[in-house]
Amino acid sequence: MATVVIIGAGMGGMATAARLAAKGHTVNVYEHSDTWGGKLGHVSHGEHKFDTGPSLLTLPAVYRDLFLKTGRAIEDSIEIVDLDTAFRYQFADGTVLKMPGTGIGSCAEAIGDALGGNSADEWRAFMARAAKMWAATRRPFLESPLNGMKSLLKLSWRVNDLVTISPGRTLRSLSEHYFSDPRLVTLVDRYATYTGSDPRQAPAALATVPYIEQTFGAYHVAGGLRELGRALFERCTEIGVNFHFNQTVEKITTNERVTGIELANGTHVPADIVVANCDAAQVYSSLLNDTALDASSRDVHRLQRATPSLSGFVVLAALDGVNDELEHHNVFFPADYDNEFDSIFGTSSSPRPVPDPTIYICSPKDTAMAPENTESWFVLVNAPRHDVDHGVNWTKEHAHYSELVLDSIERRLPGSRARMTWHESISPADLEGRTMAPGGAIYGSSSNGAMSAFLRPRNVTAIKNLYLVGGSSHPGGGLPLVGMSAEIVATHIGRA
Ligand SMILES: Cc1cc2nc3c(=O)[nH]c(=O)nc-3n(C[C@H](O)[C@H](O)[C@H](O)COP(=O)(O)OP(=O)(O)OC[C@H]3O[C@@H](n4cnc5c(N)ncnc54)[C@H](O)[C@@H]3O)c2cc1C
């Protein structure tokens, strides 16, 4: 059995660590910050508790499988809570759509009731197409190591699959084909942002994201999603994973194959296998020596061609009283959604903070997070990355933008500001500082562009025994895909 070093105690790093320790490997995790979880962060203010990263769990089966395969059922550690209403959407014209937790049929009915016309039938037809896309892409794209164009060629004998996926088509173009009501186009656009992308450039196959949410459900974790991280950290330590916090890895050492890592304090830690859970852009920009970079030139080139993912600006607020209109998850759309994507990706000028952003408010109906007759809001607004040279300097914009977001909330929910007893904000620059994700990019690279899935960094690198795991590598970001990424890596190592 091998000695494995994992760089980073994010969910990807810990999920890989647990799977490898369960297979009998010796696993040491080196983490730059003083805690586990990475982007799955949290903040407490008195009795108010806030998730600062993920607030929605989809495809919990991925983590159920991880917990079962590494010891005991996940339910022994956390309570996964089914939400009756997955989302409350409010469109710019004031229309409110309350989307049920699970079931395409009931979601279509809710859409029909809120939007009228043919919207329910159109939603069913769109979801039927998404179901076929999910069936065609799940195994070759999500559950297997990325194999470049070979993944696509594997499908090519099944012409129907290729027609279903429509590799050259964008998500926006697919929804415009199915929907006569522009509000449904807006709704589907939102799902591109769950991969850090622009719906006008991201592939149509992202229609699988709402399909997964409505088929397999949208969940909360009692006490906050950070509890999922706590449970995984405890599982890791129970089965012998060693964690080293406040340890920044500065180099991955190689000699034709990986030989270990070097820490900021100069210590060399030898290893048979290194798994990098830090952002792939960090690996290829600063952790490898020139010889290893030469050997990785194709991977470096692919990464350079990808568009980085969007980031997020977060406001946390403790409020007195309860707004009965709000559900657990609430989305307020702006009048001009395209302007949001133009601002973030700098379509016609440099990237800039979104002037009138979509406001997402997570107000957990969970007394472990918000004491009786109060609310604990996690507000997330999509934002361009922190980029001092060519984009937005969030250190300068922070205070001003925080006010803009608070004003924007007040316009949508008058009286909120007066109820706030405390608030704090986290900018993309802060996210970069906390997690070392370049620019505070949430998902590494975005899915912008028809070839984006093939530009995503591969889990099995060109350097023998160096692996990449987590949201910036294949198959992508978000808790379920990060968990799948760990399974791909652990399975590959298991066979080595
Ligand atoms: C605001 C926000 C909202 C989100 N909402 C959702 C959601 O609702 N649902 C969902 O499923 N997903 C959501 N996500 C995405 C999800 O959080 C991520 O995809 C996932 O947590 C990434 O996990 P990871 O292990 O790949 O990386 P990370 O969490 O980034 O972990 C990487 C770890 O590596 C450490 N590290 C980096 N460099 C070094 C180094 N050189 N040496 C040592 N350690 C290092 C970092 O400190 C970090 O702990 C959200 C993310 C954010 C930021």
Q: What residues does 424 pair with on adjacent strands?
A: 316
Determine the Cα angle at 369 with ends 368 and 371, to 5°.
75
477, pLDDT greater than 50: yes
Give the strands of the sheet with 80-82, arranged side by side: 57-58, 218-221, 80-82
Chain-centre distance for alpha carbon 117: 34
* Section 102-122 average pLDDT: 97
pLDDT at 223 over 70: yes
Is the CB–ligand 1 distance for residue 435 below 6 Å?
A: yes
Tell me the average pLDDT across 208-231: 97
Radius of gyration of the chain (CA): 22
218 lines ligand 1 (CB under 6 A): no
* Res 155: pLDDT: 52
* Amino acid in the structure at residue 149: M
Atom of ligand 1 nearest to the CA of 485: 26
DSSP 3-state assignment of 396? helix
Answer yes or no: are the C-beta atoms of 290 and 454 closer than 8 Å: no
Query: Ligand 1 atom 37: the closest Cα is on which residue?
Result: 278
Span from the CA of 54 to the centroid of ligand 1 (angstroms):
9
Q: 446: helix, coil or strand?
A: coil
What is the DSSP code (8-state) at residue 272? S
Query: Tokens representing 235?
Result: 């599982």
pLDDT(161) > 80: no
Mutate which of 11, 19, 31, 39 to test ligand 1's pocket (most atoms within 8 Å of Cβ)?
39
Integer Cα distance of 121 and 102 in angstroms:
17
Has residue 453 got a pLDDT over 90?
no
Is the per-residue pLDDT at 156 higher than 80?
A: no
Would the pLDDT of 334 be above 90? yes
Q: Are 257 and 118 in contact (CB under 8 A)?
A: no
Looking at residues 92-109, what average pLDDT do you find? 96
Residue among 296, 344, 312 at smallest CA distance from 457? 296
> pLDDT category, 167, cuts 50, 70, 90?
confident
Quick: pLDDT tens for 377-390: 999 999 999 999 99
Element (H, E) at 244: strand 242-244
pLDDT at residue 78 above 60? yes
The reported pLDDT for the residue numbered 201 is 95
In 327-473 the beta strands, taken as DSSP E runs, fall at: 329-332, 359-362, 374-383, 420-426, 466-468
pLDDT at 150 over 50: yes
171-191 confidence digits (pLDDT tens): 999 999 999 999 999 999 999
Strands, sheet with 257-263, edge to edge from the N-terminal-most edge strand: 249-255, 257-263, 268-270
Q: What is the pLDDT of residue 138?
A: 82
**40 Cα: distance to centroid of ligand 1 (angstroms):** 6
Q: How far is the CA of 389 from the centre of ligand 1 (A)?
A: 24
- pLDDT for res 495: 61
- The CA dihedral of 117, 118, 120, 122, to the nearest 10 degrees, is -150
Whether 355 shows a pLDDT value over 90: the answer reads yes
Mean pLDDT (whole number) for 391-396: 97
Dihedral in degrees, nearest 10, Cα atoms 272, 273, 279, 281: 70
Average pLDDT, the chain: 94
pLDDT in tens, 248-298: 999 999 998 999 999 999 999 999 999 999 999 999 999 999 999 999 999
Rounded distance between C-alpha atoms, residue 264 and residue 31, angstroms: 11
pTM over 0.85: yes
- The H or E element that residue 493 is part of is helix 479-495
DSSP 444: S
